[in-house]
Amino acid sequence: MTDFTQLSHQVAAVARRAGQFIRQEAATFDRAHVQHKGLHDMVSYVDQESERMVVAGLRELLPQAGFITEEGTTGGDSQATNAGTELTWIIDPLDGTTNFIHGLPCYSVSIALLEGTELVIGVVYEVNLDECFRAVRGGGAFCNEEPIRVSGTPALGQSLVATGFPYSNFHRVDAYLAILKEFMRGTNGVRRVGSAAVDLAWTAAGRFDGYFEFNINSYDVAAGILLVREAGGRVTQFLHDGDPIFGREVVASNGSVHAEMQGLIGQYWQQ
């Protein structure tokens, strides 16, 4: 039987090693090395090499597990490899690539482990602040091994929330902008950090009271979802409690402001 607590510490070490590589490359990175996967969807050798490092490290820890990766270095092209396995890694080797390319200091390595359909490990390593967030199913959430909890903010009107903006799929942008306007009016502020994994980690740590985003991928949010839940928060889809890992939309909060967030979103968002 797998000891997920022990494994989570080993996963954190893998994330830190990849983060060290990213930090070193950031010092001399040349934008001429950027490639485009799609509209405003950029990738560099740093993303690809970081993913290779993470995959190699995780394969040593758990050879039988499959993978869902962003850059497809396992041959899965963002799909699960070793399909049908009980354990699946979900990896974003550099969440916040646009920030990295432009020299904006907020990006992370995100690693989650699914057992069947349930998250059992989540690790987010924010490279610039050298903060490693770690969670295990039923074992709480930590930042650099200090316990973290979601905020105690009781109402949306007293909250600070985070979000992300669509960069390629704009077909629901009008509804999103209407929602954003309401959050701007109804909170202490809205922040756009540029890394969904960090948004969730900082919600788990009580720095944000909530976070929402649509058109999001599993590898962006899987690790952070477990962090928020293990820190005492709540994570759902926009209008219901459906699967936020693969559902392409996420609302995360300290729990107290969750119903208000969903209610506000529901005024403009239709399934």
Lookup: tokens for 2: 């797998």
Largest alpha-carbon pair distance within the chain? 50
Can you list the pairs that 38-44 forms with residues at least 24 positions away whose Cβ atoms lie under 8 Å? 38/168, 39/167, 39/168, 40/98, 40/167, 40/168, 41/167, 41/168, 42/97, 42/98, 42/101, 43/71, 43/97, 44/97, 44/100, 44/101
Q: What is the CA radius of gyration of the chain?
A: 17
d(CA 172, CA 116) in angstroms, rounded, equals: 32
Residue 96: its H or E element: none
95 annotated as a binding-site residue = yes
92 annotated as a binding-site residue = yes
241 annotated as a binding-site residue = no
d(CA 224, CA 196) in angstroms, rounded, equals: 8
d(CA 38, CA 41) in angstroms, rounded, equals: 5
Beta bridge partners of 126: 108, 131
Residue 133: its H or E element: strand 131-136
Q: What share of the chain is helix, strand, coil (3-state, %, to 5)?
A: 35, 25, 40
Binding residues for Mg(2+): 70, 92, 94-95, 220
Binding residues: 70, 92, 94-95, 220
